[in-house]
Amino acid sequence: MDDRKVDVSVLCLSYNQERYIARCLDGFVNQQTDFRYEVLVHDDCSTDGTLQVIMDYERRYPDIFTVVTEEENQYSRHVNIYEDILLPI
């Protein structure tokens, strides 16, 4: 575990993006920086394999990814996912 403070937080929302989410997450992993960053990924109750892909990235890169999952789709409930869920983390 890296004890340096996080300088940049990336917020990523996903819902039913199984075909594309790995390419997106690879883009985050492949960044070369001289500062620490984190990626907060919110999966809004996907019904395809999106969550499994995201969880695999969290398992492989625990110092980068934090995954937030839902039991019920929050977008359909008009929840502001950025402000109400991800930014309080």
Specify the pTM: 0.90
The range of the structural domain enclosing residue 61 comes to 8-86
Into how many domains does the chain fold? Answer: 1
Over the range 18-41, which residues count as b (16 or more CB within 10 Å of their CB) and which as e?
Answer: beebeebbeebeeeeeeeeebbbb
> Cα–Cα distance between 86 and 10 in angstroms, integer?
10
Q: Is the residue at 2 inside a domain?
A: no
Q: What is the pLDDT of residues 9-46, one digit of tens each?
A: 999 999 999 999 999 999 999 999 999 999 999 999 99
CATH of the domain at 29: 3.90.550.10
Residue 75 falls inside a structural domain: yes
Residue type, 86: L
4 confidence band (pLDDT: 50, 70, 90): confident
CB atoms within 10 A of CB 79: 15
- Residue whose structure tokens are 């990626």: 39
